Amino acid sequence: MNLNALPVTLSDVQNAAVRIAGMAVRTPLLRLPMQGEIYAKPENLQRTGSFKFRGAYNALASLPADIRARGVVADSSGNHAQGVAAAAHLFGVPAVIVIPENAPEIKVERTKAWGAEIVRCPNSSALRLKIALEIRDSRNLNYVPPFDFEAIIAGQGTVGLEIAQDLPDVDNVLVCVGGGGLLSGIAVAIKSLIPNARVIGVEPELAADAKDSFRAGKIIEWDSSLTTRTICDGVRTQSIGERNFQIISSLVDDIVTVTEDAVRDATRWYALEAKLAVEPTGALTLAAIRSGAVKLEGKTVCIVSGGNFDPKLYASIISS
């Protein structure tokens, strides 16, 4: 397979790593206290509490200064919102973020804290995008997509680049998947540098559009009334992105799903056994291992995508 024919290449990821150096946290690999050689890549320790800052900062850094100065607009359920707001603040440019009504309030408040203007919208990916593009056109802003964009994919791919550098003999990398920005970016980096390593996506059973798409060989869209059922608010997207799907269908080995109970169990395990505060979406990959959704041998990395949780929900999970 010609990896250079894909929308994002290893060179793009390496260039993104240079742009975000000194701004994004280079998160470590933490060996987890469980049977087997299993590591967590704790992006909950990332700036803004999520991997999303990597792609957002790379996207803004890739813009010419005069165009970037006009400001940016984005749409997000929370983590991309915070990433774009933080990146805009660091560049000193205005940001408008369209956020659905069901987003955790703590993510909304933290986005505001970075100085962004917030616009609320119904719980629909399509409506969210429509409003963001209308704001882009009416205010002459730059739209920063949450996942289906080369600079975003390359920025998220720096997670995989760091894994390849820190654990060059890794056998398996498990990645949560919503729109596919993180999974596609990591797949580019890992498959370019460690071709024999397996890259596996994980999503909730209640929002399994990516798995359906992967199996069907084409993008399958789920209605928002279905995807919003999961507690994993970071992967409530209704369909995978086109560029993301092109990369994922070419490079990813499999996509599996887990139950809500498995996610709760993994979130609680991280808190009590690994001493990591992880949002439900971030616990998806460990949930796949603990529930038996995947059976893997060798050195395995579980991506912890973020740690921005609703306090009441988190307390209920930990105490159950």
Cβ(286)–Cβ(40) under 8 Å? yes
Cβ(190)–Cβ(173) under 8 Å? yes
Closest CA to 9 of 160, 144, 201: 160
Active-site option among 41, 52, 191, 299: 52
Whether 77 sits among the annotated catalytic residues: the reply is: yes
Residues with Cβ within 8 Å of residue 80, at least 6 apart in sequence = 52, 55, 56, 74, 146, 147
The sign of the CA dihedral 59, 60, 65, 66 is positive
> How, if at all, do strands 198-204 and 172-176 pair?
parallel
Beta bridge mates, 176: 202
Q: What's the distance, Cα to Cα, between the start and end of the chain in Å?
A: 47
Whether 312 sits among the annotated catalytic residues: the reply is: no
DSSP-derived letter for residue 283 is G
Cβ(158)–Cβ(20) under 8 Å? yes
Residue 48 CA to residue 127 CA, distance in Å, equals: 25
Active-site option among 62, 77, 124, 239: 77
Query: Please, what's the b/e burial string for 202-220 (b: 16 or more CB within 10 A of its CB; e: otherwise)?
Result: bbbbbbbbbbbbbeeeebb
The enclosing H or E element of 142 equals strand 142-143
Residues marked as catalytic: 52, 77
